[in-house]
C-alpha cells in the first residue's frame, strides 16, 4: 500500500505561481501552504497597492488554491525592503491590524531586516509590538547580506519586545545561523533554493546533525528562479538518504503545523476532512477554470 | 430616526450575553480610542474583538425589545458580530466626521463574513445613508450570502435605495431565486417601472417555458395596465394554484375596476382573499 507523506510548505509565494504549480504540488502531497506577504519585485508606491495585495492573500488566493485541493494560509506584514519608504510604511502599518484577525492569517510576517537600516528597525519593532498585543506568531525574514549578525539582531529585538521565542519562526537559515537560533529556543526554518545557497543535499545533512526538533523546511518559491516542489523533493531525498521517517514528517509537515497553528486558524481537519473540492463554486464571478470541465470530488481524499 | 439610542441598546444586549472581562476590555478600549482618536487604536481594537467575543455563540433572546435587538435576534447574530457593530456605532456617535473615513476603511477591507455582518446591520449605523455605496455594491456580488445579507430581512434597501437601486435588487433576487417573501417593504417600494420590468421578465421566462416564483408579482398590484391585466388573466387561469392566488391577490388589492371584475370570475378565491384566509404571507401554505 502506498503511504504518501503529507507535506506543508510554510513559505511559498503562490501569487507569483501558476495553476500548473498548484496541480503538481497537490500531486506531490502538499496539503497546505502558507504565503507570507512580501515585496513583489518592484516597490509599491501607494498604500492601496498593499491593501489590494493583502486582500488577495485573504480572498482570491485561498479560493484559487482550494480549487486544487490545497489549503492556503498567509502571514501579513510590512516587508523589510519596503519599510524603507517611511511615509508609505506608516500608512501600511496603520492598515495591518484590519487583516491580522482574518480567517486564514496565521502570523505576522515576513518581517525583519534586509539592509538593517534604521527605518527597517523602526517598522520591525512596531510590528513586534503589534504581535505582542494581538498574541500572534511572528515569521522573520533574515537578511541575505550580513546574515549571521542580522539573524542574531532579529532574535535579540524579538526578546526585547517580550515575545516568546517558541512563537517566532526565524526563516532562511543556513549552517552558520542554525545553532544560535535553536539554542535560543526559536524555530529555525530553511529555504531550499535551487542551484544556490541552501540546496536539499545540504538540508539532509543539517537534519542528520541537528535532528528534527524546531526545524522546518520551506521553498520560498516566488517570481524568481525557485521550485515550488522543494519541500516534497527534500522529504523524498531525506528518506532516500536514510533519515528516519519520523524526522521527515516533523520537518516537512508537523513542525510547521505546530508553529503556525497556535492562533487556531490552521487546523489539520481543514485538509483531513475537506469539504470536497468544488471547482464550480464561483468567487466574484471568476472561476480559475477556463472552459475545462470542473473536477468535483464527491468523496473525501483517502 | 428609527434608531435613537443605538449604542446604548446594543451595549445592553451585548453585556447581557458576553463575559464581564470582555466587556470591561471593550469599555476600556473605547475610552482609549475616544481619548487618542488614532486610527491605530481603532483598528487594533477592531482586530482584537475577534479574540474577545465568540463568533460561535449566538445572542440569547432578550425580553426587552428594541429595534436593534429585534434585528440581532432575527439574524441570530453572534457575539462577535454584535461587538463589531457596537464598536462602529459607538465611534461614529462619538465623532462621525472624524471616524467615518476609518469605518469606511474597515468596511472596505472586510472579508466575506465581516461584510455580511456590516450589510445586515448597516441600518443601525448613525447617518446610515452615507454607507449606501457599500450596500449598492453588494448587489453586484455573485456570493449568495453577501447578496442575501443586504437583500433579505433588511430594512436598509427600503429606507435608502432609490427606485432604480431597489428595482435592480428586486429583479436580481428573483433571478437568483432568493426567497422573495423575505424582502422588506415590497408594497411600499413598488413602482410603475418595476411592474413593467416584472411583466417583461415574466414574458421572457414564459417564452422559454420556465416558471416564475408567484411571489414575484406582488409589486405590480397598484400598477395594473392593459398588459398586466392580461398577465393577471394568465395567472388566474393557470393550473398552478399558487399562481392563481398571486393573481387574485394582485387584483384584489389593485383598486382597479377591470382587475376586480376579472377576479369576480373566481368567487371562491375572491372570498378566501377577502377573509384573509389567503394573504401574501400565506401564499405558499
Ligand atoms: Zn518570502
Of A59, A96, A134, the CB nearest to B111: A59
Q: How far apart are CA A250 and CA A215, in angstroms?
A: 8
Min Cα–Cα distance to chain A from B35, Å: 18
More confident residue, A88 or A3: A88
Per-residue model confidence (pLDDT) at position A2: 47
Q: Nearest residue of A to residue B103 by CA position?
A: A98
| Element housing B74 (H / E) | helix B67-74
Q: Nearest residue of A to residue B114 by CA position?
A: A102
Q: What percent of chain A has pLDDT over 90?
A: 83
Strand ranges inside chain B, DSSP E: none
pLDDT in tens, A184-200: 999 999 999 887 556 78
Q: Nearest residue of B to residue A58 by CA position?
A: B111
Cα-based torsion angle of the residue sequence A220, A222, A227, A230 in order, rounded to the nearest 10 degrees: 20
Q: Span A168-184, mean pLDDT? A: 95
Of A55, A130, A134, the CB nearest to B109: A55
Min Cα–Cα distance to chain B from A98, Å: 6
Nearest residue to A76 via CA among A39, A105, A102, A47: A105
Min Cα–Cα distance to chain B from A55, Å: 7
Per-residue model confidence (pLDDT) at position A256: 98
CB contact under 8 A, A284 and B143: yes
Residue A227 has pLDDT above 60, yes or no: yes
Cα-based torsion angle of the residue sequence B208, B213, B218, B219 in order, rounded to the nearest 10 degrees: -50
- A289 band by pLDDT with thresholds 50, 70 and 90: low
Min Cα–Cα distance to chain A from B92, Å: 18
Q: Report the predicted TM-score, pTM, of the whole model to 2 decimal places.
A: 0.85
More confident residue, A282 or B166: B166
Per-residue model confidence (pLDDT) at position A4: 82
Per-residue model confidence (pLDDT) at position A298: 42
Per-residue model confidence (pLDDT) at position B60: 72
Of B43, B111, B142, the CB nearest to A97: B43
B182 touches chain A (CB under 8 A): no
Q: How far apart are CA A232 and CA A254, in angstroms?
A: 14
Per-residue model confidence (pLDDT) at position A292: 58
CB contact under 8 A, A99 and B44: no
CA B151–ligand 1 middle distance (angstroms):
42
Min Cα–Cα distance to chain B from A285, Å: 6
- A301 band by pLDDT with thresholds 50, 70 and 90: very low
Per-residue model confidence (pLDDT) at position B58: 86
Alpha-carbon distances of B60 from B84, B225, B283, rounded to whole Å: 17, 48, 31
Per-residue model confidence (pLDDT) at position B142: 80
Q: Nearest residue of B to residue A50 by CA position?
A: B109
Q: Please identify among residues 38-97 of chain B the ones whose CB lies closer than 8 Å to any CB of chain A.
A: 39-40, 43-44, 46-51
Q: How far apart are CA A188 and CA B96, in angstroms?
A: 47
CA A256, chain centre distance (Å): 9
Contact of A163 with A132, CB cutoff 8 Å: yes
CA A188–ligand 1 middle distance (angstroms):
15
Residues of chain B neighbouring A130 (CB-CB closer than 8 A):
44
Q: What is the mean pLDDT of chain A?
A: 90
CB contact under 8 A, B43 and A135: no
- A293 band by pLDDT with thresholds 50, 70 and 90: low
Per-residue model confidence (pLDDT) at position B284: 87
CB contact under 8 A, B105 and A98: yes
Q: Span A28-56, mean pLDDT? A: 95
CA A138–ligand 1 middle distance (angstroms):
13
- ipTM value for the complex: 0.80
- A288 band by pLDDT with thresholds 50, 70 and 90: low
- A279 band by pLDDT with thresholds 50, 70 and 90: very low
Per-residue model confidence (pLDDT) at position A217: 96
pLDDT in tens, A115-160: 999 999 999 999 999 999 999 999 999 998 999 999 999 999 999 9
Read off the C-alpha cell for A227: 521550485
Residues of chain B neighbouring A134 (CB-CB closer than 8 A):
44, 47-48, 51
CB contact under 8 A, A103 and B113: yes
Residues of chain A neighbouring B84 (CB-CB closer than 8 A):
none
Residue A277 has pLDDT above 80, yes or no: no
**How many inter-chain contacts (A to B, CB under 8 Å) are there?**
51
A283 touches chain B (CB under 8 A): yes
Local confidence pLDDT in tens for the 285 residues of chain B: 445 578 998 998 899 889 999 999 999 999 999 999 999 999 999 999 999 999 998 887 665 667 777 888 888 899 999 999 999 999 999 999 999 999 999 999 999 899 999 999 999 999 999 999 999 999 998 888 999 999 999 999 999 999 999 999 999 999 999 999 999 999 999 999 999 999 999 999 999 999 899 999 999 999 999 999 999 999 999 999 999 999 999 999 999 999 999 999 999 999 999 999 999 999 988
CA B256–ligand 1 middle distance (angstroms):
70
| Element housing A9 (H / E) | strand A7-9
A284 touches chain B (CB under 8 A): yes
Per-residue model confidence (pLDDT) at position A300: 32
CA A110–ligand 1 middle distance (angstroms):
7
Min Cα–Cα distance to chain A from B278, Å: 38
| Element housing A72 (H / E) | strand A71-76
Residue A169 has pLDDT above 90, yes or no: yes
Min Cα–Cα distance to chain A from B76, Å: 21
Q: Please identify among residues 123-162 of chain B the ones whose CB lies closer than 8 Å to any CB of chain A.
A: 141-143
Q: How far apart are CA A144 and CA B196, in angstroms?
A: 67
A54 CB-near residues (< 8 Å, 6+ apart) = A37, A76, A95, A99, B109
CA B262–ligand 1 middle distance (angstroms):
73
CB contact under 8 A, B111 and A95: no
CA A211–ligand 1 middle distance (angstroms):
24
Per-residue model confidence (pLDDT) at position B47: 96
Read off the C-alpha cell for B153: 430581512
Per-residue model confidence (pLDDT) at position A207: 95
Residue A278 has pLDDT above 60, yes or no: no
CB contact under 8 A, B111 and A58: yes
What is the edge-to-edge ordering of all strands in the sheet holding A7-9? A7-9, A30-36, A71-76, A105-112, A138-141, A168-171, A187-191, A215-218
Residues of chain B neighbouring A283 (CB-CB closer than 8 A):
142-143
A100 touches chain B (CB under 8 A): yes
Amino acid at each position: 500500500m502506498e503511504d504518501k507523506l503529507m507535506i506543508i510548505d510554510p513559505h511559498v509565494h503562490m501569487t507569483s505561481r501558476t495553476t500548473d504549480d498548484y496541480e503538481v504540488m497537490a500531486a506531490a502531497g502538499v496539503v497546505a501552504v502558507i504565503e507570507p506577504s512580501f515585496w513583489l519585485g518592484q516597490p509599491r508606491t501607494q498604500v492601496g497597492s498593499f491593501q489590494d495585495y493583502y486582500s488577495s492573500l485573504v480572498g482570491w488566493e485561498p479560493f484559487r488554491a482550494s480549487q486544487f485541493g490545497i489549503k492556503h494560509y498567509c502571514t501579513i506584514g510590512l516587508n523589510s525592503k519596503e519599510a524603507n519608504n517611511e511615509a508609505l510604511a506608516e500608512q501600511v502599518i496603520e492598515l495591518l491590524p484590519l487583516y491580522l484577525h482574518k480567517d486564514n492569517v496565521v502570523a505576522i510576517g515576513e518581517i525583519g531586516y534586509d539592509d538593517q537600516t534604521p527605518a527597517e528597525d523602526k517598522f520591525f519593532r512596531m510590528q513586534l509590538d503589534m504581535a505582542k498585543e494581538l498574541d500572534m506568531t511572528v515569521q522573520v525574514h533574515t537578511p541575505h547580506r550580513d546574515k549571521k549578525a542580522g539573524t542574531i539582531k532579529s532574535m535579540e529585538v524579538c526578546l526585547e519586545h517580550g515575545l516568546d521565542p517558541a512563537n517566532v519562526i526565524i526563516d532562511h537559515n543556513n549552517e552558520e545561523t542554525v545553532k544560535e537560533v535553536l539554542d535560543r529556543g526559536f524555530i529555525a526554518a530553511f529555504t531550499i533554493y535551487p542551484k544556490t545557497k541552501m540546496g536539499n543535499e545540504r538540508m539532509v545533512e543539517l537534519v542528520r546533525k541537528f535532528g528534527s526538533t524546531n526545524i522546518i523546511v520551506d521553498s520560498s518559491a516566488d517570481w524568481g528562479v525557485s521550485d515550488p516542489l522543494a519541500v516534497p523533493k527534500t522529504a523524498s531525498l531525506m528518506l532516500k538518504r536514510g533519515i528516519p521517517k519520523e524526522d521527515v514528517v516533523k520537518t516537512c509537515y508537523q513542525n510547521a503545523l505546530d508553529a503556525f497553528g497556535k492562533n487556531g486558524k490552521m487546523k489539520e481537519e481543514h485538509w483531513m476532512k475537506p469539504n470536497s473540492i468544488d471547482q464550480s463554486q464561483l468567487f466574484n464571478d471568476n472561476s480559475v477554470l477556463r472552459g475545462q470541465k470542473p473536477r468535483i470530488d464527491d468523496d473525501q481524499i483517502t | 430616526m428609527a434608531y435613537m439610542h443605538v449604542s446604548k441598546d446594543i451595549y445592553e444586549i451585548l453585556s447581557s450575553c458576553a463575559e464581564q472581562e470582555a466587556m470591561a476590555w471593550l469599555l476600556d478600549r473605547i475610552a482609549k480610542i475616544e481619548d487618542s482618536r488614532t486610527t491605530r487604536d481603532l483598528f487594533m481594537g477592531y482586530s482584537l474583538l475577534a479574540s474577545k467575543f465568540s463568533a460561535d455563540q449566538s445572542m440569547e433572546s432578550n425580553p426587552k425589545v428594541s429595534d436593534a435587538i429585534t434585528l440581532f435576534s432575527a439574524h441570530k447574530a453572534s457575539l462577535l458580530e454584535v461587538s463589531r457593530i457596537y464598536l462602529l456605532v459607538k465611534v461614529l456617535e462619538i465623532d462621525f466626521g472624524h471616524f467615518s473615513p476609518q469605518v469606511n476603511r474597515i468596511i472596505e477591507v472586510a472579508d466575506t463574513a465581516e461584510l455580511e455582518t456590516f450589510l445586515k446591520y448597516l441600518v443601525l449605523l448613525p447617518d446610515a445613508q452615507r454607507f449606501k455605496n457599500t450596500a449598492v455594491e453588494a448587489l453586484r456580488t455573485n456570493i449568495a450570502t453577501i447578496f442575501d445579507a443586504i437583500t433579505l430581512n433588511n430594512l436598509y434597501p427600503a429606507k435608502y435605495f432609490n427606485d432604480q437601486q431597489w428595482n435592480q435588487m428586486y429583479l436580481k433576487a428573483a433571478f437568483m431565486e432568493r426567497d422573495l417573501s423575505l424582502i422588506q417593504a415590497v408594497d411600499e417600494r413598488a413602482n410603475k417601472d418595476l411592474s413593467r420590468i416584472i411583466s417583461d421578465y415574466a414574458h421572457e421566462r414564459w417564452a422559454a417555458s420556465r416558471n416564475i416564483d408567484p411571489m414575484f408579482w406582488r409589486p405590480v398590484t397598484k400598477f395594473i395596465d392593459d398588459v398586466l391585466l392580461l398577465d393577471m388573466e394568465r395567472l388566474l387561469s393557470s393550473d398552478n394554484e399558487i399562481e392563481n392566488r398571486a393573481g387574485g391577490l394582485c387584483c384584489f388589492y389593485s383598486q382597479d375596476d377591470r382587475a376586480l371584475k376579472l377576479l369576480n370570475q373566481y368567487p371562491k378565491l375572491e372570498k378566501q382573499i377577502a377573509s384573509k384566509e389567503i394573504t401574501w404571507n400565506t401564499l405558499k401554505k
